[in-house]
Chain A
Amino acid sequence: MLSKEDEKWADFHRDYRPALIAFFLRRTCNYDEAEDLAQEVFVRIASKDHAAMRQTDAYIFQVAANLLRDRSRRAQVRTDYAARLRLSDEFGIDPLDPHRITVGRESMALLTSALAELPERTRQIFMLFRYEHIDQRTIADSFGISVSAVEKHVHRAMANLIKALGDEA
């Protein structure tokens, strides 16, 4: 059985992995490096204290941005020419926009109402997958549908949430 902290930590990973990988990937164009950097963010936050897990998004992305800056210095030392070019480029045109990647009060309200508007079965399947961490195979077997049908429900639910957030802009 996972300890309380382990569980919190697993949740934290699951929540932030997509954001951090995408954040780094688009700035380094190297998946392995993005994985390493994302891992580094987790390590830094873990070594600080676990209270950081309850920190704001802004803090976590600040850690990510700092790491990226450190890395660009290292890259220069290694005269990693291509990466440097890419980086300065990226920093020029795509600065970290906290507005676009942090979860604000307004997004929370939009998500809550978008969930309420989902078709019942789609919402049930999505809730089980996202909140109760029940795997898609188990959900499929329980409801007597295929795994790909479960996936469709999940992605349809997410698509509606994404659209709801988009209407905000």
Chain B
Amino acid sequence: MRLVQALDHNATIEEQASAWCIRLASGHLAPAEQAEFDEWISAHDAHGEIFDRAQVAWRGLSAIADRPEIIAQRADALDALRRANLRRWTHKIRRDWRRVAALAASVVLVVLTVSLWSNFPTSPDAKPEVFATNIGERQIITLTDGSRLTLDAATKVTVLYEDDQRVLTLNDGRARFDVRKDPERPFSVTAGGRTTVATGTSFSVELLKNDLHVVLFEGRVNVSKAGSPSPSQTIVLMPGEKLVTNISPSAIPRIEQADILGAQAWENGQLVFIDEPLASAVEQVNRYSRTKIEIGDARASEITVSGVFNVGDIRAFIDAITDVYPLEANTSSGRVMIVSKNTSSLK
């Protein structure tokens, strides 16, 4: 394939240089492409000059990647992508469900699924099943009833399906639950001393060291104290709302407007923080990294941070927060200590 000629034939020299630069950045050239590149770059002095500018631009983009205005533009682009995908997937999923429903033969499917996927006998001696992910790992699990479990890194969920209820426990980390509707068998997730009950809906539960977050994407859930669901203390979440509570039993939960796109970003390998307390941001970043970040002083942990990060890019996270906020990072023996600048200079 003639690379540059595959472009519009009225492509400018700059556009041609861009095509070559990106082609070279992505790997080895095929023999025909080598000849073509040779031909192109020696065809005109201007080609070489503009190609040099192209590669300066290409590398320069990495040099500015963490500037606040660029981070804002990256967040905007990811947002646009997510919105576009959301539209696409909701159409697709609706279509797919209809097709599945139309399959009367799905009985066969279900039988197969049960034997392959689960050890959830629907008998009284049902046994719980444990799903867990390691650091930096994510996993999507389809349960026997078609409900879907999306596990973030360093997460553990215990699933117990009984005849009359679906009982899940989030032991660690964060998971999203896309619940297949079944009014006869309520679906509940217990974490941090609170139980979230749903019938057919989509929500995520996140357990941090001291806090519990529940974000509702669709449908309706009730959140109450685990073990003693008293109606007067039950909180009803509406779509787009986020419940935040300390995990101590006496804590009073508060309801916030959730950043829905940000709250789902981890499923696409992104962490989006908007005025996130540093302690909670660090805890999320740590799920993807063997090198752990710790916060050295209370002043630092009160700082709120904003930004978009690729999960696993702990270095970019540290660079960004120490660049933008009055913080500094000290690395020693496999961990990174974040301290506020003034505190350390007082020492």
A26 sits at the interface (CB 8 A): yes
B48 and A159: CB pair below 8 A?
A: no
Nearest residue, chain A, Cβ from B27: A17
Contact between A127 and B37, CB atoms less than 8 A apart = no
B340 CB to closest chain A CB (Å) equals 24
Query: In the complex, A158 Cα to B310 Cα: how many Å?
Result: 23
**Residue numbers in A under 8 Å from B271 (CB-CB):** none
Q: How far is the CA of A25 from the CA of B29 in the complex (A)?
A: 12
Across the two chains, which residue of chain B brings its CB closest to A164?
Answer: B57
| Chain B residues near A17 (CB-CB < 8 A) | 24-25
Q: A22-B24, A101-B52 are in contact. Are A29 and B62 (CB under 8 A)?
A: no
> In the complex, which residues of chain B have a beta carbon less than 8 angstroms from the beta carbon of A108?
60, 63-64
Contact with B along A9-33 (1 / 0, CB 8 A): 0010011111101100110010110
Q: CB < 8 Å: which of A22, A127, A143 contacts B73?
A: A127
In the complex with contacts A22-B24, A131-B65, A132-B78, A166-B53 CB distance below 8 A: yes
Q: Which of B11, B48, B51, B78 contacts A128 (CB 8 A)?
A: B78
Q: Which residue of A lies closest to B314 (CB)?
A: A4
Q: Check if A101 sits within 8 Å of B38, measured CB to CB.
A: no
Q: Check if B14 sits within 8 Å of A4, measured CB to CB.
A: no
A166 touching B50 by the CB < 8 A rule? Answer: yes
Q: Which of B5-62 contact A (CB under 8 A)?
A: 7-8, 11-12, 14-15, 17-22, 24-26, 28-29, 34, 37-38, 41, 48-62
A124 to B72 CA separation, bound complex (whole angstroms): 11
Task: Compute how far the CA of A4 lies from the CA of B334 in the bound complex, rounded to whole angstroms.
Answer: 13
Residues of A within 8 A of B12 (CB): 159
Inter-subunit contact A18/B58 (CB<8 Å): yes
Chain B contact-residue range equals 35 or more
Interface size on A, residues (CB 8 A): 59
B70-A112 in contact (CB<8A): yes
- Contact residue among A4, A16, A128 (Cβ-Cβ distance under 8 Å from B313): A4
Query: B29 near A31 (CB under 8 angstroms)?
Result: yes
Nearest-neighbour CB distance to chain B for A21, whole angstroms, equals: 5
Q: Does B331 contact A (CB under 8 A)?
A: no
24 contacts between A and B (CB under 8 A): A15-B58, A16-B59, A18-B22, A18-B24, A18-B58, A19-B58, A25-B41, A31-B34, A100-B52, A101-B52, A107-B56, A112-B69, A124-B77, A127-B74, A131-B70, A131-B77, A132-B270, A142-B84, A154-B22, A158-B21, A158-B58, A159-B18, A160-B14, A162-B18
